Amino acid sequence: MMKNHKLTKNIANASWFEIKRQLEYKCKWYNKELAIVNPHNTSKKCNNCGYINKKLTLVDREWICPNCDTTLDRDINAACNILNRWNNGDSLVTKIS
């Protein structure tokens, strides 16, 4: 079904919706809090100085911040930025209790 380009996006979105639904259910079941973070620019934003590198493509797995010369792995950098958004109470974080 994923070969049908008209349906691919809908199928992928349905899968993410189901994961989110299951996480919400489990968090309510175990009385935990779920945070949904908007991932926009999390891997392109330097977690050290806040510079956003708009020139990055998906094949660029590591990059050096031109502003502060920090070497960044995209996945680790994104994880740090998501944690920072959570800790700072960023408006891009939706908390579900």
Distance (Å, rounded) from C-alpha 18 to C-alpha 16? 5
Tens-level pLDDT at each residue, the chain (97 residues): 456 667 777 767 677 788 889 999 999 999 988 888 888 899 999 999 999 999 998 899 999 999 999 999 999 999 999 989 888 877 666 767 6
Q: Enter the pTM of the model.
A: 0.70
Q: Taking the CB of residue 81, how many other CB atoms lie within 10 A of it?
A: 21
What is the pLDDT, as a whole number, of residue 87? 84
CA torsion 66-69-74-79 (nearest 10°) is -120
Domain ranges of the chain: 1-31, 33-97
AA letter at 83: L
Q: What is the pLDDT of residue 32?
A: 87
